[in-house]
Amino acid sequence: MDPHPEPGLGPVLTALARSAVATSFAPRPPGAAALITATAGAAAHAAALAKREATFVTLQRDGRLRGCIGTLTALRPLGVDVVRNARLAARDPRLPPVEAAEVESLRLTVTILSPSEPIAVRAFTTLLDHLRPGRDGLTLKDTGDRRATFLPSVWTSLPDPDRFVAALLRKGRWPRHLWTTELRSAVWPEGLAAECYAAREFSG
């Protein structure tokens, strides 16, 4: 991941995300290509917007989450992915849908993820010692249907690695004893795998 993104790219991404949400209420919402063309400054970042990236779009209003949707794998061009995820975040099934009157008061964050890297761990103690608070995003998954991730921004509300991992286990609906007991003494579940990733965030 480029640690020095193109100057001016952030405002373009957040403006594009806001436009995607705002236009989603139209009878026939414009496609990603039309929105990118209409976004001020986008032409200067055509190459970056065309590069495949994994993104998340987070919507907040008055500090409350209104939606957060994204992918961990780079499947689409950056601009297209932001439009898609912004519109899906506005209809996040975990929350009431965003209303048109809310759009201007939303705080939007576009997060670009680096490729995930496996962490070679077989014990929670090793995982907790490996994590870098404030920097690492974390994904936990097993051989079944359990999978959950926390973006690096979650460290703001969960700065302690033990609480961070316990909350992620709870989010992924792993057995209750894992996230309600002393995590460092818990047995690493068979089939559990961990991956970490870095991220760049742009808010506006």
The CATH number of residue 29's host domain is: 3.30.700.20
163 residue type, one letter: R
Q: Does 103 share its domain with 125?
A: no
Q: Is 46 a member of any domain?
A: yes
User: Per residue in 142-175, pLDDT tens?
Assistant: 998 899 999 999 999 999 999 999 999 999 999 9
Q: Does 150 share its domain with 95?
A: no
Nearest to 199 by CA among 64, 48, 76, 72: 72
Residue ending a domain, among 78, 113, 148, is 113
Contact in structure between 106 and 66 (CB atoms under 8 Å):
yes
Q: What is the mean pLDDT of residues 59-79?
A: 97
36 residue type, one letter: I
Q: Which two tokens stand for residue 137?
A: 């995003």
Rg (CA), the chain: 18
Q: Is 23 a member of any domain?
A: yes
Q: Does 48 share its domain with 87?
A: yes
pLDDT > 70: percent of the chain: 98
Report pTM.
0.90
Q: Does 44 share its domain with 58?
A: yes
Instruction: Kindly report the CATH number assigned to the domain that includes residue 130.
Output: 3.30.1490.150
> Does position 183 have pLDDT exceeding 70, yes or no?
yes
d(CA 177, CA 122): 18
* Total count of domains within the chain: 2
pLDDT tier, 42 (very low <50, low <70, confident <90, very high otherwise) = very high
Q: Is 204 a member of any domain?
A: no
Q: What domain range includes position 188?
A: 117-198
d(CA 182, CA 166): 9
Q: Does 30 share its domain with 109?
A: yes
For residue 144, what pLDDT is reported?
86
Q: Is 75 a member of any domain?
A: yes
User: Per residue in 90-116, pLDDT tens?
Assistant: 999 999 999 999 999 999 999 999 999
> Does position 16 have pLDDT exceeding 80, yes or no?
yes
